[in-house]
């Protein structure tokens, strides 16, 4: 069996669209054209009328607006906004032109509504076929009230899953498809394509992947730093959190609760407050540099370049991320350590194992087994870690004035600057796609290493 092995349907049903088309009666087949017709013929009048009204509403929408919305995707508009001199008012007025952003949004929404309609159509066809089969077999066919009651019993999952699915469809799938489409346009401030823009195919991807261009060289530099940051931000927290948890939980340590409280106290302060305070303290005229000058450790006219030197800035953000992240790792690993069976340690001591052997053969494997999914999630999360970088360094320092990113910018902070500050929405969409792909791969690896995936027999 391979990665794409078929899974057995746990709840097989004969009421499928294929069977409805092949074996259904005339009323069921007519339901392919008139949704709900088969339900009405087989006694489910209210249910059939609801399906029919949904179809009518969809057709009215498509004839009035939907077809025009989808047709507009071909050109994304062609009428530019014009400046016209008004002699009577002695002022310039502006004629209404096409807004490509709205044309794209409405077109994508119309296509997704059509996809949703296809799903509903399949459901109505299966419902009509089921009602026909039950009537032919002499079994009871539920009326509308009985169908509603099933939502509190065998169809309870439909009642609870429909609202969140609708929200995911509206607030996740629609924006995601819209953003992906934007990556294939020239929607940006460059050449003034903010109101009216066109499809450009893969040009944005070529520009971003071209290391000889300014945007391309910036992308590869930011991507490399993003991966380096994610690696050190993840494993430095894990290693230091492991060391602290081992020291605090060892038998010879007294006042374990007090030491945990000292390290976890920083969790009580909102992270953005801690980051902003540290950013202020590490400025050239901040508390740290002033204190070092007063102690005579640096010259009176000097400052440590925490955020002005690229290497210093990158090391600084990693160290401060350790400070804000280790307490959370400490709490998690403390729980893992307390759940390791004591019998394993006693057996190791009887066999003559020393402390290092006990750690490498028992403690570390057990901790990694439990926390591997957490490590993967943390790594992918650090790739998308906006708060620490933006609030602490703001992506600075900027050493190349032609570049749109600083030396500590991650893909996500660079994306923010490109869209909010520079208005390069098309390039920002491409970067968003790349970030999404990285996070999706991380989520896939997390699932493949999870216990539930192994229990299902996955590879």
Residue pair 375/234 in contact by the 8 Å Cβ criterion: yes
Q: Which residues of the chain carry a pLDDT beneath 50?
A: 1-10, 452, 459
- Rounded CA gap, 165 and 169, in Å? 6
Around Cβ 439, how many Cβ atoms within 10 Å?
15
Please report the pLDDT score of residue 124 as a whole number: 93
Residue 365 φ/ψ region, left for φ over 0, alpha for ψ in the -120 to 50 degree band, beta for the rest: alpha
- The distance in angstroms from the start CA to the end CA of the chain is 9
Structure tokens belonging to residue 433: 């796609």
Residue pair 409/386 in contact by the 8 Å Cβ criterion: no
HEC profile for 259-318?
HHHHHHHHHHCCHHHHHHHHHHHCCCCCHHHHHHHHCCCCCCCCCCCCCCCHHHHHHHHH
- Rounded CA gap, 280 and 285, in Å? 9
- Please, what are the domains in the chain? 17-190 (no CATH), 204-455 (1.10.3720.10)
Angle between helices 256-264 and 214-249 (to 10 degrees): 160
Please report the pLDDT score of residue 449 as a whole number: 62
Please report the pLDDT score of residue 315 as a whole number: 95
- Rounded CA gap, 90 and 291, in Å? 64
Around Cβ 370, how many Cβ atoms within 10 Å?
16
- Rounded CA gap, 60 and 286, in Å? 65
For residue 154, give every residue at least 6 positions away whose Cβ sits within 8 Å of its Cβ, in sequence order, or none. Answer: none
Helix, strand or coil, per DSSP, at residue 213: coil
Residue pair 307/397 in contact by the 8 Å Cβ criterion: yes
> What sign has the CA pseudo-torsion 285, 290, 296, 297?
negative
Which one-letter DSSP state was computed for residue 405?
S
CA 40 to chain centroid: 43
For residue 229, give every residue at least 6 positions away whose Cβ sits within 8 Å of its Cβ, in sequence order, or none. Answer: 314, 317, 318, 382, 385, 389, 410
Around Cβ 49, how many Cβ atoms within 10 Å?
14
365 burial via Cβ count (<10 Å: 0-12, 13-18, 19+): exposed
217 burial via Cβ count (<10 Å: 0-12, 13-18, 19+): middle
Angle between helices 425-448 and 174-182 (to 10 degrees): 130
Around Cβ 419, how many Cβ atoms within 10 Å?
18
pLDDT in tens, 2-57: 444 444 444 567 888 888 888 889 999 999 999 999 999 998 999 999 999 999 99
Please report the pLDDT score of residue 427 as a whole number: 92
Q: Largest alpha-carbon pair distance within the chain?
A: 102
- Rounded CA gap, 56 and 120, in Å? 13
Please report the pLDDT score of residue 5 as a whole number: 43
Residue pair 333/245 in contact by the 8 Å Cβ criterion: yes
Please report the pLDDT score of residue 457 as a whole number: 53
Structure tokens belonging to residue 195: 């109101």
CA 47 to chain centroid: 37
The vertex-230 CA angle with 394 and 429, nearest 5°, equals: 65
- Rounded CA gap, 48 and 127, in Å? 9
- Rounded CA gap, 74 and 362, in Å? 62
Please report the pLDDT score of residue 430 as a whole number: 93
């Amino acid at each position: 069996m391979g990665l794409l092995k078929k899974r057995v349907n746990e709840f097989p049903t004969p009421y499928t669209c294929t069977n409805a088309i092949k074996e259904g009666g005339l009323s069921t087949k007519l339901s392919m054209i008139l949704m709900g017709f088969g339900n009405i013929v087989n006694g489910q009048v209210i249910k059939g009328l609801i399906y029919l009204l949904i179809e009518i509403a969809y057709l009215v929408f498509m004839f009035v607006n939907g077809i025009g919305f989808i047709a507009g995707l071909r050109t994304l508009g062609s009428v530019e906004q014009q400046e016209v001199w008004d002699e009577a008012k002695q002022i310039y007025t502006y004629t209404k032109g096409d807004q490509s952003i709205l044309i794209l949004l409405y077109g994508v929404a119309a296509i997704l509504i059509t996809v949703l309609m296809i799903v509903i159509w399949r459901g109505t066809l299966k419902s009509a076929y089921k009602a026909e089969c039950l009537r032919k077999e002499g079994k009871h066919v539920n009326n509308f009230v009985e169908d509603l009651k099933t939502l509190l019993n065998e169809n309870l999952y439909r009642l609870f899953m429909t609202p969140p699915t609708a929200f995911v469809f509206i607030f996740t799938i629609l924006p995601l498809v819209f953003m992906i489409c934007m990556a294939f346009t020239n929607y940006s401030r460059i050449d003034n394509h903010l109101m009216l823009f066109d499809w450009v195919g893969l040009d944005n991807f070529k520009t971003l992947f071209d290391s000889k261009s300014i945007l391309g060289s910036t992308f590869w530099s930011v991507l490399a730093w993003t991966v380096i940051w994610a690696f050190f931000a993840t494993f430095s927290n894990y290693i230091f959190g492991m060391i602290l948890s081992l020291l605090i939980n060892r038998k010879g340590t007294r006042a374990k609760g007090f030491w945990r409280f000292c390290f976890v106290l920083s969790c009580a302060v909102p992270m953005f407050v801690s980051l902003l305070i540290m950013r202020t303290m590490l400025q050239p005229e901040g508390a740290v540099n002033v204190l070092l000058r007063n102690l005579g450790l640096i010259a009176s006219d000097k400052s440590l370049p925490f955020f002005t030197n690229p290497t210093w800035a990158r090391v600084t953000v990693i160290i401060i991320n350790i400070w804000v992240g280790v307490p959370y790792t400490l709490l998690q690993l403390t729980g893992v350590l307390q759940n390791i069976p004591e019998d394993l340690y006693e057996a190791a001591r009887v066999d003559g194992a020393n402390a290092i052997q006990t750690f490498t053969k028992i403690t570390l494997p057990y901790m990694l087994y439990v926390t591997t999914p957490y490590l993967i999630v943390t790594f992918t999360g650090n790739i998308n870690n906006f708060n620490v970088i933006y609030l602490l360094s703001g992506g600075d320092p900027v050493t190349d004035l032609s570049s749109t990113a600083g030396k500590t910018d991650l893909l996500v902070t660079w994306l923010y600057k490109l869209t909010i500050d520079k208005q390069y929405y098309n390039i920002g969409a491409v970067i968003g796609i790349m970030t999404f792909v990285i996070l999706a791969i991380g989520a896939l690896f997390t699932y493949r290493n999870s216990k539930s995936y192994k229990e299902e027999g996955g590879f």
